[in-house]
């Protein structure tokens, strides 16, 4: 039997906390959802910074390693880069760049670069690194600076700021995409619940009136009808709130519905419901066939003429095939009607790849519906 794996219903809830985190106003100067990042992200950051801090040990030239205090300057600069990275990641980019305040962001970048250069100059002057470099290599006194003492701090700071800006912007774009997906899923879920709830209230009123009449003529049948109605109400309250239900439960719901409708119909109305049980439990979205059954009772029954309503449910090759056929005693005032449009909308939401087939054949004397949908493994 070719069946399709049941989609993960938890897929619609896997980012349930995301809207609350992103839609709530930010408190303080930074986004707390960034601080509480995943353990994997924290581990990656730690490994990358450990790698960056270990680079001077492997690549610092021998001529510079002889200069006393050079490691103070190198590692203080590394610490400044780390501070600049997270200041931009947590404060500057979210407060200014992501809010389209480009001037404030650029001023912040200039300020960070200026601070890094100033601290490097202070450390250089404190240890008198230029003089120590000249003495260690016997260079003339007019050789003023260490190699790259001016350009390297500026370039490295700009590179680090660019990397943190890209990472932060990418993180926020992913969160915004997740938020949009969650909002769309919530809209679709709400719409699906509304469409599933469109069972006609007239059915409940008519059934209760029928049961009331039975209490005076056939109390045993009235008890049976009340039991069937209670099962249907239980199904509507609990099963239809789920994304999927068992095929057998949906079969039973249609059976009870047809039996209850049969109680108030005259003898010249015949109803035939052929069912085929699948070899093992499978699941389908609940109440997809109810509209077509309701429609048959609404338009296919005459108070005078013989009326034959035919329903069938069969299972083959991972598909459920439903068919409803009834005579047209009452002409449709609107082709398809609201019920059909609701059902079509729900089918399109449930099966966005349109892997279902629906054929409606409204003839002059008979109205036939054929619907096939995929089933899912239990």
Pick 18 or 286 by higher pLDDT.
Answer: 286
| Window from 142-146, 178-182, 204-208, 362-366 with minimum mean pLDDT | 142-146
- 10 Å CB burial of residue 184 (0-12, 13-18, 19+) is exposed
From 164, 194, 224, the end of a domain falls on: 194
Average pLDDT of the chain, as a whole number: 76
Reference 165, options 222, 67, 94, 77; nearest CA is 94
Structure tokens belonging to residue 336: 């398809």
CB atoms within 10 A of CB 142: 6
CATH of the domain at 349: 3.30.565.10
Same domain, 243 and 179: no
When pLDDT is cut at 50, 70 and 90, the band that residue 33 belongs to is: very low
From 169, 194, 219, the end of a domain falls on: 194
In a domain, 222, yes or no: yes
In a domain, 27, yes or no: yes
Same domain, 237 and 293: yes
Taking a C-beta distance cutoff of 8 angstroms, is the pair 274, 366 a contact?
Answer: no
CA–CA distance, 275 with 266 (Å, rounded to integer): 24
- Which domain, by its residues, includes 99? 15-194
Same domain, 162 and 208: no
What's the chain's length in residues?
378
In a domain, 9, yes or no: no
Pick 140 or 258 by higher pLDDT.
Answer: 258
When pLDDT is cut at 50, 70 and 90, the band that residue 72 belongs to is: low
Pick 371 or 32 by higher pLDDT.
Answer: 371
pLDDT at 6: 46
pLDDT at 331: 59
Give 244's Cβ-side CA count (13 Å radius).
Answer: 20
pLDDT, one tens digit per residue, over 96-137 is: 887 878 888 888 888 888 888 888 778 777 766 666 656 555
Question: Model's pTM, two decimal places?
Answer: 0.52
From 194, 218, 246, the end of a domain falls on: 194
CA–CA distance, 302 with 308 (Å, rounded to integer): 10
pLDDT, one tens digit per residue, over 180-202 is: 888 777 767 766 666 555 555 66
When pLDDT is cut at 50, 70 and 90, the band that residue 339 belongs to is: low
CA–CA distance, 157 with 112 (Å, rounded to integer): 8
**Confidence check: pLDDT of 272 > 90:** yes
| Most confident range, picked from 171-185, 259-273, 340-354 | 259-273
In a domain, 8, yes or no: no
DSSP 90: I
**Confidence check: pLDDT of 76 > 60:** yes
3-state secondary structure of 262: helix
When pLDDT is cut at 50, 70 and 90, the band that residue 22 belongs to is: very low
Same domain, 190 and 246: no
């Amino acid at each position: 039997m070719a069946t399709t794996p049941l989609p993960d219903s938890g897929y619609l809830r896997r980012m349930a906390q995301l809207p609350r985190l992103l839609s709530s106003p930010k408190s303080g100067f930074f986004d707390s959802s960034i601080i509480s990042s995943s353990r994997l992200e924290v581990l990656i950051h730690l490994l990358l910074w450990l790698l960056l801090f270990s680079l001077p040990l492997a690549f610092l030239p021998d001529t510079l390693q002889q200069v006393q205090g050079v490691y103070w300057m190198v590692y203080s600069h590394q610490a400044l880069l780390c501070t600049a990275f997270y200041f931009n990641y947590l404060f500057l980019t979210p407060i200014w760049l992501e809010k389209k305040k480009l001037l404030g962001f650029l001023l912040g970048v200039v300020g960070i670069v200026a601070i890094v250069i100033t601290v490097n100059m202070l450390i250089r002057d404190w240890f008198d690194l230029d003089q120590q470099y000249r003495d260690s290599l016997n260079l003339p006194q007019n050789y003023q600076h260490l190699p790259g003492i001016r350009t390297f701090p500026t370039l490295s700071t700009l590179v680090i700021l660019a990397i943190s800006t890209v990472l932060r912007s990418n993180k926020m774009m992913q969160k915004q995409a997740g938020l949009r997906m969650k909002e769309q899923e919530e809209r679709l879920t709400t719409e699906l619940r509304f469409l599933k709830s469109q069972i006609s209230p007239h059915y409940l009123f008519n059934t209760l009136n029928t049961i009331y009449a039975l209490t005076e003529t056939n109390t045993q049948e009235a008890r049976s009808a009340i039991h069937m109605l209670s099962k249907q109400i239980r199904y509507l309250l609990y099963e239809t709130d789920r994304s999927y239900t068992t095929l057998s439960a949906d079969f039973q719901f249609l059976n009870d519905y047809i039996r209850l409708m049969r109680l108030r119909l005259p003898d010249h109305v015949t109803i035939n419901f052929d069912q085929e049980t699948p070899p093992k439990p499978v699941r389908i979205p609940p109440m997809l066939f109810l509209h077509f059954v309701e429609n048959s009772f609404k338009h296919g029954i005459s108070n005078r003429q013989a009326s034959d309503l035919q329903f069938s449910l069969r299972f083959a090759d991972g598909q459920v095939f439903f068919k409803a056929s009834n005579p047209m005693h009452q002409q449709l005032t609107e082709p398809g009607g609201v019920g059909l449009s609701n059902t079509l909308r729900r089918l399109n939401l449930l099966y966005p790849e349109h892997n279902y087939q629906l054929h409606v054949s409204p003839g002059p004397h008979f109205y036939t519906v054929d619907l096939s949908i995929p089933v899912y493994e239990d």
